[in-house]
């Protein structure tokens, strides 16, 4: 498909401003700067770095981002008054591409109850403040807050005025997520008809998700001619959040036939950006969240699993690799089919005959009817009697750690009839324990994923730990649960090493049979 025939949609990221207003999402200067670096790698066109007048910390964060991040518009938010605008420019002026984003509400509801202004007073304020902002920089954006609930004729008058005053971007927010897609499409079209100069500026939209329609409204606006979308990573923001960057970008990527539009986003950085934001804020996305949720590329239904194993496009309109994730996951459950079960058996290192697979599959189905979550250990237990896993047995773990000492772990591992012991330091108690076990087994396997979940959610809960190791391109996951996270981690790691040993043994056995035949 020739990308040249598509229009470019600018991605204006406001994760560091509107996103940070999400309860519990506040970031310090270091965290904001770290996320800004990732947003630049992601390829956003503009980073709204903060609201400089809000606090000294916000001012310093915007200033630090402006000083370091290149190749991106660095935007400071300001209300339509001189104090805010001067403060915003004082922070962004260090940027390679500084921008001021000033806003004021235009709906009668806000005029009466919040601003206590007449329409004429508001018009004069908007126009004069855009002129004031233009005295500092040529890159000025004006937002008509609560635009979607504003009188259309008055809104057209205000936008006409701010364009004449020098605004280079005009933003139409659906501030409270009130609009519907068809309605918003028509609203943007009527604005284009009612404002003669709008063709000479960037038409932007900023949609909130109160009715779950932020992405749909943003995409409708693009169909109507919007050239910029304001959005956030993971859709975080005030109340129910903003339009999700990853959903908008991938909708445009996957459905070029509908939107005839492209962005400058490096989609391979989407998942990394999502994970970094989650790490910084502690706010996880729901498992079924589009694009970046844990289950976004997971398949449990047997029909789906069978189709995916035969041809990915049967049930995936994009691949997880497209957004920087690892390959899709086949989740075993009561809906799973024999094809997926066999794939799981092979990945765990077992080589079973057709009769053995049939027998194990019957047992698996029976177990799945009784148990919601089927773990690798459950599969192990179905076949382990005839295929023993235990080469290594963890016998002892003792860790010394604290805020004033380097973590030290001492372990004992039984290999056959021989008890071996070792100790090692690490970046933390788990890392030290993994290092100590590796000194004994010398597997050369690399830990590539580590996850801890609380089984019951209290301080007395067991920690359910999964450890994924990689060796020669093979990924194998071990799991264990214990009230002591370090013990659970050690057991999960040893469990993975045992599975890896069985996998390698099976491979050697198969190769030997092939050579002899």
How large is the average pLDDT for residues 93-113?
Answer: 97
What is the pLDDT, as a whole number, of residue 275?
85
Query: Does position 49 have pLDDT exceeding 70, yes or no?
Result: yes
8 pLDDT tier (thresholds 50, 70, 90): very high
CATH 2.60.40.4070 fits 392-515, yes or no: no
HSE at residue 502, side-chain half, CA atoms within 13 A, is 26
Residue of higher predicted confidence among 505 and 62 = 62
Average pLDDT over residues 365-377: 66
Please tell me the distance from the alpha carbon of residue 440 to that of residue 344, in angstroms, as a whole number. Answer: 29
Residues of the chain with CATH 3.20.20.70: 8-281
User: Is the pLDDT confidence value at 77 over 90?
Assistant: yes
More confident residue, 386 or 96: 96
Query: DSSP string of 261-315?
Result: EE----GGGHHHHHHHHHHHH--PPPTT-TTTSTTTTEE-SHHHHHHHHH-GGGT
CA distance 514 to 368: 36
pLDDT digits (tens, 9 = 90+) for 434-476: 999 999 999 999 999 888 876 555 555 567 788 889 888 777 8
Q: What is the pLDDT, as a whole number, of residue 4?
A: 61
Q: Evaluate if residue 157 carries a pLDDT over 90.
A: yes
Q: Please report the pLDDT score of residue 517 as a whole number.
A: 33
CA dihedral 36, 42, 46, 51 (to 10 degrees): -30
Q: In what order do the strands lie in the sheet with 418-425?
A: 392-400, 408-415, 418-425
| Distance (Å) of CA 292 to CA 61, 289, 297, 325 | 27, 6, 9, 8
pLDDT at 84 over 80: yes
Mean pLDDT of 371-381: 60
Given 1.10.1740.110, 3.40.50.970, 3.30.365.10, 3.20.20.70, which CATH number is that of 8-281? 3.20.20.70
Output DSSP code: residue 175.
T
Least confident of 2-16, 201-215, 494-508: 494-508
Higher-pLDDT residue of 322 and 191 is: 191
Q: Where in the chain is the domain with CATH 3.30.160.270?
A: 392-515
Confidence label for 386 from pLDDT (cuts 50, 70 and 90): very low
Among the listed ranges 245-259, 261-275, 365-379, which one has the minimum average pLDDT value? 365-379
Q: What per-residue confidence (pLDDT) applies to 369?
A: 75
**What pLDDT score does 367 carry?**
72
Q: Over the chain, what is the mean pLDDT?
A: 86
Q: What is the pLDDT at residue 417?
A: 87
Structure tokens at 502: 């069985």
Question: Is the predicted pLDDT of residue 185 greater than 90, yes or no?
Answer: yes
Q: What would the mean pLDDT of 24-28 be, rounded to a whole number?
A: 79
Residue 10: the pLDDT is 98
pLDDT (average), residues 404-424: 93
Buried-exposed string 320-345: b where 16+ CB fall within 10 A, e elsewhere = bebbbbeebebbbbbebbbbbbbebb
Q: Identify the pLDDT of residue 350.
A: 58
According to the model, what pLDDT value does residue 511 have? 43
* % of the chain with per-residue pLDDT over 90: 60
- Pick the range with the lowest mean pLDDT from 184-198, 283-297, 313-327: 313-327
DSSP 433-451: HHHHHHHHH----EEEEEE
Bridge partner residues of 420 (DSSP): 413
Identify the pLDDT of residue 308: 47
What is the predicted pLDDT for the residue at 164?
98
Beta carbons of 172 and 205 less than 8 angstroms apart: yes
438: burial class by Cβ within 10 Å (0-12, 13-18, 19+)? buried
Q: Between 512 and 450, whose confidence is greater?
A: 450
């Amino acid at each position: 498909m020739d990308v040249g025939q598509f229009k470019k949609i600018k991605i204006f990221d406001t994760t560091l401003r509107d996103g940070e207003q999400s309860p519990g999402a506040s970031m310090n200067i270091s965290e904001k700067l770290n996320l800004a670096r990732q947003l630049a790698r992601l390829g956003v066109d503009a980073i709204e770095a903060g609201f400089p007048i809000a606090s000294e910390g916000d001012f310093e964060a915007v200033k630090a981002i402006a000083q370091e991040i290149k190749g991106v518009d660095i935007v400071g938010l300001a209300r339509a008054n001189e104090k805010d605008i001067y403060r915003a420019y004082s922070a962004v002026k260090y940027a390679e591409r500084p921008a001021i984003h000033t806003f004021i509400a235009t709906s009668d509801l806000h005029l009466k109850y919040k601003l206590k202004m007449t329409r004429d007073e508001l018009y004069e304020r908007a126009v004069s403040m855009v002129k004031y902002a233009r005295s500092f920089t040529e890159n000025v954006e004006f937002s008509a807050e609560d635009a979607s609930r504003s009188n259309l004729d008055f809104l057209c008058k205000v936008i006409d005025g701010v364009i004449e005053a020098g605004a280079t971007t005009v933003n139409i927010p659906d501030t409270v997520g009130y609009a519907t897609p068809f309605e918003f499409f028509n609203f943007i079209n009527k604005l284009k008809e009612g404002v003669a100069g709008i063709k000479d500026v960037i038409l932007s939209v900023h949609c909130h998700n109160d009715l779950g329609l932020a992405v749909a409204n943003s995409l409708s606006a693009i169909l109507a001619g919007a050239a910029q979308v304001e959005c956030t990573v993971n859709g975080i923001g005030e109340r129910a959040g903003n339009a999700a960057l990853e959903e908008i970008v991938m909708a445009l990527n996957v459905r070029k036939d509908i939107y005839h539009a492209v962005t400058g986003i490096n989609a391979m950085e989407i998942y990394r950006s999502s994970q970094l934001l989650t790490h910084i804020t502690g706010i996880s996305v729901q498992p079924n969240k589009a694009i970046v949720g844990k289950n976004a590329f997971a398949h449990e239904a047997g029909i789906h699993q069978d189709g995916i194993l035969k041809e990915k496009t049967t049930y995936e309109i994009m691949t997880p690799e497209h957004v920087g994730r690892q390959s899709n996951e086949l989740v075993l459950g009561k809906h799973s089919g024999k094809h997926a079960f066999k794939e799981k058996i092979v990945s765990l290192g077992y080589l079973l005959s057709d009769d053995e697979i049939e027998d194990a599959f019957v047992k698996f189905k029976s177990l799945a009817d009784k148990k919601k979550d089927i773990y690798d250990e459950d599969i192990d237990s179905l076949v382990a009697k005839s295929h023993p896993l235990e080469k290594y047995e963890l016998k002892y773990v003792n860790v010394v750690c604290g805020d004033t000492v380097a973590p030290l772990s001492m372990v004992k591992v039984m290999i056959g009839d021989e008890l071996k012991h070792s100790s090692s330091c690490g970046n933390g108690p788990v890392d030290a324990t993994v290092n100590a076990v590796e000194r004994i087994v010398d597997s050369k396997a690399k830990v590539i994923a580590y996850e801890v979940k609380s089984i019951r959610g209290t301080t007395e809960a067991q920690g359910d730990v999964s450890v994924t190791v990689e060796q020669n391109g093979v990924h194998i996951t071990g799991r264990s649960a214990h009230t002591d996270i370090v013990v659970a981690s050690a057991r999960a790691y040893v469990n993975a090493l045992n599975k890896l040993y069985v996998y390698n043994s099976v491979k050697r056995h198969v190769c030997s049979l092939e050579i002899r035949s």
